[in-house]
Each structure stands twice: as structure tokens, then as C-alpha cells.
Amino acid sequence: MPGNGDDQRVHRLSRRAFIKGAGAAAAAARLIGAAVPLPAVEVADNSSPNPDGAIAERLGPGAVTIELKVNGAARKITVEPRVTVLEVLRDHLGLYGTKLVCDRGACGACTIHLDGHPVVACMMLAVDARGHEIVTIEGLGTPDRMHPVQAAFVQADALQCGFCTPGMVMSIAALLEDNPSPNIDEIKRAVAGNICRCGTYPHVFNAALAAAKSRGAKPKGGNA
């Protein structure tokens, strides 16, 4: 929609332009999510909805302008109530690191953090995300400042085609926030909802164990 600040559909071209390397470089790009240059971030005004995001007014069926907190920034978008968080991330905000695969909550490729918990972005309406903190793979770390889980995935070669990887990373990052030293069964449980068709699971488990260890050295971890 023209004239709506953030709400400009970002062309995939910029993502294609970014992922142009080969081998390890391309793999690393997949791993941290395509770092698409984002449209200017609008600063939130403080008259945001209550903490539960509840607004007792009818929204839609036409497009409405809502505000979502994504990777620490308030983003204004104009969407119909039927639009999912996944569609907003990819089609409105240019955050292509969150992958669209099954679009029915079964594969985990679109795993993000909602208030710190792992959720699948395809199974959540954007209007339902008002008032919540969304973190995507792009918000977890950058190529220069990788999150320990991202760095561990590079080290452990924990990907093949890489399509499930952002979701795997998000699931394991959420696990480590909750449980800093998980055992292998807890790791398996954490990525049970992340389907890898290449069968890279053993390397994923190794990466998770290594990330837990590296975070142990720096207790707060995170992308700082």
C-alpha cells in the first residue's frame, strides 16, 4: 500500500541479490536468514494496545493498519485479518529468513519466537500478534554477530539444503533460553516439530550441544 511507511512489499530481488555466494558463504547466508535491507522502521507511538493486544473493536474483513513488534522495532503494516504472521514477515517486511513450507503448522520451517516461546508463524494471524514480541532469525543474530546457536550450526555443518535451518535454529535458541544445558533427549524434543528432509538431525543435535557449551562460557549468550 503506497504511503504506508513500512507497508511496502519488498521485492524478492533484493534477497536473490544477497544470496549470490556459493558453498559456505551461501550456507551461512541461509543460516542467519537473508539479511535483506529493511524499509525504514517507524518509531512506535506509546498509545499501543494493552499488553494482551486486545482491542475490543471489529477488524476487517478489509485491510486494517496494525502495529507489530518485530525484532525489537515497532512496524506498521496494513493487512486483512486473514493474513498470517508468516505472510507479514515475508511479503510485507522482507524478512525471508522465516521459511514458508507446509503452511499448516506441521514442518516448523517458519518457527519464530513469540514472547520467547517458539511458535510457527504460518499458524498465527497477524492481528493476533498485536502486543506481542516477535523475534525472527534475522533478529537472533547477524553475519557479523552470530547468535551462539547460529555459530554452532556453521561449526557443526548442521545443514544440507538449509531450508529447515532457520526454524531449527529458532527452536534450539528457545530451548537454550529455557534450559541452558539440555540433554540429547531434550534437544530432540525441542526440534521434534522441525522437519528436515535431508536428514541432518545428528549434526543439528551436535550443534545444539556445542551451542549450549559455548553459551555456558558466556552465561548470558544472546547476540550481544
Distance between CA atoms of residues 9 and 123, nearest Å? 21
Core vs surface per residue 69-78: b (16+ CB within 10 A) or e:
bbbeebbbbb
Closest approach, Cβ 193 to another protein, in A, equals 2
Count, residues near another protein per rule CB under 8 A: 39
Q: Give yes or no for a contact between 108 and 120, defined as CB atoms under 8 angstroms apart.
A: yes
Which one of the spans 21-29, 54-62, 136-144, 153-161 is the region binding another protein (CB under 8 A)?
54-62
N-term to C-term CA, the chain: 35
| Site map 70..109 versus another protein, x via CB under 8 A | ----------xxx-x------------------xxxx-x-
Looking at residues 23 to 52 of the shown chain, list those that interact with another protein (rule: CB under 8 A): 50, 52
Rank residues 76 and 188 by Cβ distance to another protein and give the closer one.
Answer: 188
d(CA 192, CA 196): 10
Joined together, the cell numbers standing for residue 17 give: 541479490
At 117, phi and psi to the nearest 5? -95, 145
Binds another protein (CB under 8 A): choice among 5, 39, 193, 222: 193
- Decide: 118 and 170 in contact? Cβ < 8 Å: yes
Beta carbon nearer to another protein, 124 or 210: 124
From CA 135, how far away is CA 113, in angstroms rounded?
5
Nearer to another protein, 74 or 195 (CB): 195
Question: Nearer to another protein by C-beta: 5 or 53?
Answer: 53
User: Contacting another protein (CB under 8 A), which of 12, 123, 133, 142?
Assistant: 123
Q: Which residues bind another protein (CB under 8 A)?
A: 50, 52-61, 80-82, 84, 103-106, 108, 111, 114, 117-120, 123-125, 127-128, 171, 174, 189-190, 192-195
